[in-house]
Structure 1
Amino acid sequence: MFIPLLRKTLKRLGELPARKESEVEELLKNYDDVLLDGTERPIQKPSDNETADEYYSGKKTHSLKNNVLTLSDLRIVWISQTYEGKIHDKNICDKENLRFPKGICLWQDGGFLGYKPKNVIIKLLVDCIILDYLLA
């Protein structure tokens, strides 16, 4: 009931995150920095074992995953398609085929090692990499 109203309001305010990778370059053209991160939402374990394996994230839970692009003011400007918990953050980006404005600084954590889109400056969030390691 409230979700359609919220979606309509966010869209009217220009705050609804993009879902199409083709929109990312245009959205970010006036920004110098953007943060790329993966998110997980826990779900109930699927009853079918094969399906359950696809949704097991390796972090002791079954989940759905998305990647998000966030501006420095914490506004989410893009959300990837939703994937099974098993998929790695970098692999989501490989599937999504994002294009960024030339010269933008892309901040990312260790989940994206090896992901380097064309014409961007990669910055690693070292503290996040250490924290991710300690929490795993």
Structure 2
Amino acid sequence: MSSVQFRMIVFRPFKGEIITGTVQKCTSAGIRITTQFFDDIFVPQTMLFEGCEFDEAEKTWVWRTEESELWFDEGTVVNLRVEAEKWHDQAPKGPAETAEAGAEAERKVPYAIEASMAEAGLGGVEWW
């Protein structure tokens, strides 16, 4: 009989925790953030700084203040606060259930994080 050894890393930040990630993609709905090992972090537009606007031409968010414009370009390293976790059951579905759902069914990730960047110290790391 042989034995198996493995290592496991558990990533589950707690609500209110500040984590660092990188802007992966901006849409008019908000900003998708990635870490080196987890890609399902989303900051909705309602959880960005007051004065943030989506620049359609540049496809990015910009925070306009009286003094400057700060951009959330892809690749920008940001600090964000975890606001909520979203869990979606990944139970297998039978052929009948799959056919009923059709091609319209959106696959949801098993675990996602909703975060905010609307306080001093959050947003671009180089801003502060």
TM-score above 0.5 = no
- Flag the structure with larger Rg: 2
Higher normalized contact order (CA 8 Å, seq sep 6+, divided by chain length): 2
